[in-house]
A and B are shown apart, each in its own frame.
Chain A
């Protein structure tokens, strides 16, 4: 699912960085803030900005955006406010993808319960990165390049089309590295569950239409594989 519009709630350091990264990716993008000072700061940074309060009935969103192709990021200062915002949005928009920031595990669990699709626990992420940088510096560097840098090596998720040559085959039947110069890290088995399974844990997956393969490889190799699979566009 690709989204046309995005909203970031809040304008602290986190929200600012999120806005800077994602704004160019969407046709329409706005920041919603609660205070006048935040509004001025966001405006000064060059973003379209609107004021809101937590008691909002969200007509504002419906007027400006198409909720079916909208994604929101809740990045208010306080976890409690983020939880309230999440639950408030979910009560109106059942299908809206909500990505929320949480300080710790406890708040992350609450945000999940409030209806967030994805919660990014900032402390946990930072702790993981710190330990990884010191214990596995090469892994950190390689993953950083794959994920965030403009390197030729990419990670991509490719949805298996209905008429693909892969349908009906088992994952292990194909030597991905040898044949396509890509490595399949995980698969989302559409028929079994919406969550992924690592190929290292069980490679006896039967590939069905609409399964999603998470692959790592050079851009050209991924394109070649996508083409062979009959995919028009894959998510870079």
Chain B
């Protein structure tokens, strides 16, 4: 009877959109670093921690307002309690565990074993309760019982909670945890030295009435202070034997410190690239819009720099570490990952539909470009893709892979050669316009309704009439180009004007054609 009741609830919760939505929201807020609102939650919690610690320090020698004490002891503790319970809730999905076990038993035609399920759920939840971060969370709530003065120091555990909210602190812990074995070895080494030296100094000094070291605790204290090269000088050996032990311990202390330093330094050195890469991934996930270039070489470098010159963001994905280092040295945002792997895009958290203006495939192989194109198409059906084509016979394969624009440089050079030999000056003019190095630009201006209405009137102004070349209007409705348009042409919103002129003149025209009507 109870089993059926529990299974029923599990199914109900599993199917309830409100419940799932709530749980997902709580999970995102507490655990998902990619959730945009998590940072606000983290900052709030950090602020509460800072207030708590400030009140603790202030309260040592000053009176603290009762309202603040109430806020600290009850409100903050209550918020932390709620957070703890939420973390406990989202740690595992009980309804899913129950349903899976129920369906498993049903499939095997055996009675539902409620006890097994409850045991599994209990064990899972206990693994949360006994995890270090959860213990710290729980201890941070303890000051709630503020009447017990000793428990006040538990407020300091709230500081440890910062590890939950500050990513850099998490990184620090993860870097050190990569050197667990070395740290353990160091710990054992230091402990052995402390034990041996404490016993030795106690034996040598404790019976001497002139010696300040009279107890084993004082011997241990002296050993720790000496080994870690602090040397307060409040306890010093007075016997020759004791001083001999002291000299040996000072030398051993230097070894301990060197060992510890080298562990920390090597851990950071080893992880430095990883940290930088993580930082870059974070930065990329915050980019609003960018061009994604797959593959890095001299061509990618030129394309990227041209986009950067136009004020566009560019992200380069490349599998080869050396090429990535080269790109980074060149001032570009480049990440080491395989552009043809789905896993790469999941790890990078790139949203093709909102972030990527276009994916540009510049690998030095048609095979790789097709493979990358298919990977990207799997993630987004609509993102624009452009690829270079290296061998003419592969053109159709690139089209089939979903690439929208194909650039076959060899063919382009062939066409240009014809131009160069037939109309060298005309070619130079067009090439200069395209390369944008001559100070004169060819630009397209997408017209909105106001600009469309004012277009001819503005273009006939004396400042533009002779100096801004109005090459033509591309009409979206008929998908056709009208060269040197006369004012009988009806211009609509969405049409594109193609103009040739200096940047300042084009900018002035754009500003005026927009502004005029509004005046």
Within 8 Å by CB of A25, from B388, B412, B421, B442, lies: B421
Asked if A17 meets B414 with Cβ closer than 8 Å, knowing A126-B388, A212-B425, the reply is: yes
Residues of A near B435 (CB, < 8 A) are 124, 128
Complex: A14 Cα to B439 Cα, angstroms: 30
Complex: A136 Cα to B433 Cα, angstroms: 12
Instruction: Give A61 Cβ to nearest chain B Cβ, in Å.
Output: 17
Asked if A136 meets B417 with Cβ closer than 8 Å, knowing A125-B412, A203-B467, the reply is: no
Within 8 Å by CB of B413, from A125, A127, A134, A183, lies: A125
**A134/B298 in contact, CB under 8 A:** no
Q: Does A142 contact B (CB under 8 A)?
A: yes
The segment from A88-96, A213-221, A225-233 found at the interface with B is A213-221
The segment from B28-36, B224-232, B331-339, B403-411 found at the interface with A is B403-411
Q: Does B440 contact A (CB under 8 A)?
A: yes
**A177/B484 in contact, CB under 8 A:** yes
Within 8 Å by CB of B302, from A22, A124, A156, lies: A124
**A3/B358 in contact, CB under 8 A:** no
Q: Does B501 contact A (CB under 8 A)?
A: yes
Q: Mark B349-380, 1 if CB is under 8 A from A, else 0.
A: 00000000110100000000000000000000
The segment from B38-46, B48-56, B129-137, B303-311 found at the interface with A is B303-311
Complex: A14 Cα to B413 Cα, angstroms: 7
Asked if A136 meets B444 with Cβ closer than 8 Å, knowing A128-B435, A203-B466, the reply is: yes
Complex: A198 Cα to B500 Cα, angstroms: 9
**B498/A130 in contact, CB under 8 A:** no
**A157/B426 in contact, CB under 8 A:** yes
Complex: A13 Cα to B47 Cα, angstroms: 65
Instruction: Give A186 Cβ to nearest chain B Cβ, in Å.
Output: 5
Within 8 Å by CB of A129, from B298, B407, B440, B470, lies: B407
Complex: A37 Cα to B300 Cα, angstroms: 32
**A138/B498 in contact, CB under 8 A:** yes
Closest to B419 in A: A147
Q: Does B14 contact A (CB under 8 A)?
A: no
Q: Does A76 contact B (CB under 8 A)?
A: no
Q: Does A135 contact B (CB under 8 A)?
A: yes
Q: Does B114 contact A (CB under 8 A)?
A: no
Q: Mark A145-156, 1 if CB is under 8 A from B, else 0.
A: 101100001011
Asked if A14 meets B444 with Cβ closer than 8 Å, knowing A128-B306, A139-B498, A147-B415, the reply is: no
Instruction: Give B292 Cβ to nearest chain A Cβ, in Å.
Output: 11
Closest to A136 in B: B444
Residues of B near A182 (CB, < 8 A) are 484
We find that the number of chain A residues with CB closer than 8 angstroms to chain B is: 71
| Chain A, 109-150, CB within 8 A of any chain B CB | 118, 120, 122-139, 141-143, 145, 147-148
Closest to A198 in B: B440
The segment from A42-50, A52-60, A98-106 found at the interface with B is A98-106
Q: Does A18 contact B (CB under 8 A)?
A: yes
| Chain A, 164-183, CB within 8 A of any chain B CB | 172, 177, 181-183
Complex: A196 Cα to B298 Cα, angstroms: 30
Within 8 Å by CB of A200, from B291, B360, B414, B440, lies: B440
**B469/A185 in contact, CB under 8 A:** yes
Residues of A near B418 (CB, < 8 A) are 21-22, 25
Q: Does B430 contact A (CB under 8 A)?
A: yes
Q: Does A73 contact B (CB under 8 A)?
A: yes
Q: Does B340 contact A (CB under 8 A)?
A: no
**A153/B483 in contact, CB under 8 A:** yes
| Chain B, 432-475, CB within 8 A of any chain A CB | 432-435, 438-440, 442-444, 466-472, 474
Asked if A101 meets B413 with Cβ closer than 8 Å, knowing A142-B498, A212-B425, the reply is: yes
**A99/B420 in contact, CB under 8 A:** yes
Q: Mark A67-107, 1 if CB is under 8 A from B, else 0.
A: 00001010000000000000000000000010101011000
Residues of A near B298 (CB, < 8 A) are 103-104, 123
**A126/B442 in contact, CB under 8 A:** no
Within 8 Å by CB of A143, from B360, B407, B430, lies: B430
Within 8 Å by CB of B310, from A17, A131, A153, A214, lies: A131
Closest to A152 in B: B483
**A18/B429 in contact, CB under 8 A:** no
Asked if A120 meets B302 with Cβ closer than 8 Å, knowing A125-B409, A183-B484, the reply is: no
Q: Mark A188-217, 1 if CB is under 8 A from B, else 0.
A: 100000011011110100000000101011
**B469/A199 in contact, CB under 8 A:** yes
Complex: A134 Cα to B407 Cα, angstroms: 12
Complex: A123 Cα to B200 Cα, angstroms: 76
Q: Does A6 contact B (CB under 8 A)?
A: yes
Residues of A near B426 (CB, < 8 A) are 155-157, 214, 235
Q: Does A20 contact B (CB under 8 A)?
A: yes
Residues of B near A125 (CB, < 8 A) are 409, 412-413, 416, 431
Q: Does B423 contact A (CB under 8 A)?
A: yes
Within 8 Å by CB of B307, from A22, A97, A101, A131, lies: A131
Closest to A6 in B: B421
**A122/B407 in contact, CB under 8 A:** no
Complex: A6 Cα to B444 Cα, angstroms: 37
Residues of B near A199 (CB, < 8 A) are 467, 469
Closest to B434 in A: A128
Q: A135-B310, A185-B469, A236-B422 are in contact. List 10 more A-B contacts (CB 8 A).
A: A18-B413, A122-B409, A126-B299, A139-B442, A141-B481, A183-B469, A183-B470, A183-B484, A195-B428, A200-B500
Interface residues of B (CB under 8 A from A): 291, 298-299, 302-303, 306-307, 310, 312, 357-358, 360, 384, 386, 388, 391-392, 405, 407, 409-426, 428-435, 438-440, 442-444, 466-472, 474, 481, 483-484, 496, 498, 500-502, 505
Q: List 16 A-B contacts (CB under 8 A).
A: A13-B410, A22-B417, A118-B420, A122-B413, A125-B409, A126-B412, A131-B310, A138-B498, A142-B498, A147-B419, A148-B419, A183-B470, A186-B425, A200-B440, A200-B467, A235-B426
